[in-house]
């Protein structure tokens, strides 16, 4: 199964390099890396490489964040935006645009990233302060932070037409225009999130049995839950800053992964890192080719690609997810 998932990701990467407004045969793509391709083909393929890297990083981060959130909350409808991360990034973007004017994609990342992190931190601080509020209190804190920031975003965007014009493209989610420097900019946030996720995945198996059972098995529930939430916020913040608030990947991929490998988080975590990029890259290719020579933003396509996949998986598992 692991080999099949890896092969599917490799195929999605190749498809991302081949497909576009002007399709490039795989043999020509190989020549670009081996040498011998004409300058035009080199330019076309090299322009797709950063976009492909962005899709791989954002897809893996979103899928893993969704897996962590669903595992920690034991809620199959949880997604990476649960703690207000998306709303925080949006609030930072519209504020920067209102004050400084429209910025480049790289500039947007540098504003979205701290906004997402601060929103997640605020929700976590409010939700865990004052004793044992449990996950319900934390989720309510995330909902409050999201509601407040969303209202702020709507007020600013609707009051300032220039801000709205810039914001409406970012909020859909896209991989277009993401250079290598943008991917590098979010790695210091995403890599620690990945490492923390790897560290807590064993504890998530115990937590899935229930808090009391987890304590009885010797698991540190507080450390597992806190570490998982921190990792989820870091991963979701980095992905949102990189590609915008892309919907459905973080919600659908954990269900697909559970259908493939079961409920063991030691398998779910590595498979999420493979399946997430595959789904996002395929959705991006569809967006680039379905209305050629223009394109649909990947955030629009993920719903159309992800929804049927999720419905099929749910029917296969007969409600066991």
User: pLDDT tens digit string along 127-157?
Assistant: 777 555 567 788 888 899 999 999 999 999 8
3-state secondary structure of 132: coil
Residue 104, both tokens: 């480049």
* pLDDT given at position 58: 95
pTM above 0.85, yes or no: yes
**pLDDT at residue 316 greater than cutoff 80:** no
CB contact at 8 A, 218 and 205: no
CB contact at 8 A, 60 and 246: no
Q: What is the pLDDT of residues 47-95, one digit of tens each?
A: 899 999 999 999 999 999 999 988 888 888 788 888 888 899 999 989 9
- Domain boundaries defined on the chain: 2-317
CB contact at 8 A, 74 and 288: no
Q: Which CATH class for the 2-317 domain?
A: mainly alpha
**pLDDT at residue 318 greater than cutoff 60:** no
Residue 198 to residue 184: CA distance in whole angstroms: 21
Residue 25, both tokens: 């045969």
| Residue that wins the pLDDT comparison between 158 and 56 | 56
**pLDDT at residue 321 greater than cutoff 80:** no
Tell me the percentage of the chain whose pLDDT exceeds 70. 95
The overall longest dimension of the chain from CA atoms, in Å, is 65
Residue 205 to residue 183: CA distance in whole angstroms: 31
Instruction: Please identify which residue in the block is written with the tokens 């490492």.
Output: 195
Q: What is the pLDDT of residues 182-227, one digit of tens each?
A: 899 899 999 999 999 999 988 888 888 777 787 787 778 888 888 9
Report the candidate in 233, 62, 84, 232 with the shortest Cα–Cα distance to residue 150: 84
């Amino acid at each position: 199964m692991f080999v099949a998932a890896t092969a599917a990701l490799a195929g999605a990467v190749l498809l991302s390099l081949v497909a576009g407004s002007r399709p490039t045969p795989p043999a020509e793509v190989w020549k670009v890396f081996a040498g011998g391709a004409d300058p035009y083909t080199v330019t076309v393929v090299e322009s797709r490489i950063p976009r492909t890297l962005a899709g791989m990083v954002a897809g893996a981060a979103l899928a893993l964040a969704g897996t962590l959130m669903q595992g920690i909350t034991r809620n199959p409808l949880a997604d990476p935006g649960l703690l207000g991360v998306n709303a925080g990034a949006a609030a930072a973007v519209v504020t920067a645009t209102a004050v400084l004017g429209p910025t480049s994609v790289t500039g947007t990342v540098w504003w979205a990233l701290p906004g997402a992190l601060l929103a997640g931190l605020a929700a976590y601080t409010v939700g865990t302060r004052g004793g044992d509020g449990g996950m319900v209190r934390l989720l309510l804190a995330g909902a409050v932070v999201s509601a407040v920031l969303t209202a702020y975003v709507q007020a600013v965007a609707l009051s300032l037409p220039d801000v709205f014009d810039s914001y409406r493209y970012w909020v859909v989610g896209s991989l277009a225009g993401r250079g290598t420097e943008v991917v590098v900019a979010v790695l210091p946030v995403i890599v620690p999130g990945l490492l923390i996720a790897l560290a807590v995945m064993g504890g998530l198996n115990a937590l899935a049995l229930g808090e009391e059972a987890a304590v009885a098995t010797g698991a540190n529930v507080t450390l597992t839950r806190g570490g998982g939430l921190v990792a989820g916020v870091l991963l979701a913040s980095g992905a949102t800053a990189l590609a915008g608030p892309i919907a459905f990947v973080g919600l659908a991929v954990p269900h697909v992964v559970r259908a493939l490998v079961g409920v063991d988080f030691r398998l779910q975590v590595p498979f999420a890192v493979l399946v997430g990029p595959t789904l996002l890259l395929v959705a991006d290719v569809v967006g680039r080719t379905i209305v050629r020579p223009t394109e649909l933003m990947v955030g629009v396509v993920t719903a159309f690609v992800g929804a049927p996949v999720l419905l099929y998986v749910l029917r296969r598992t007969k409600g066991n997810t």
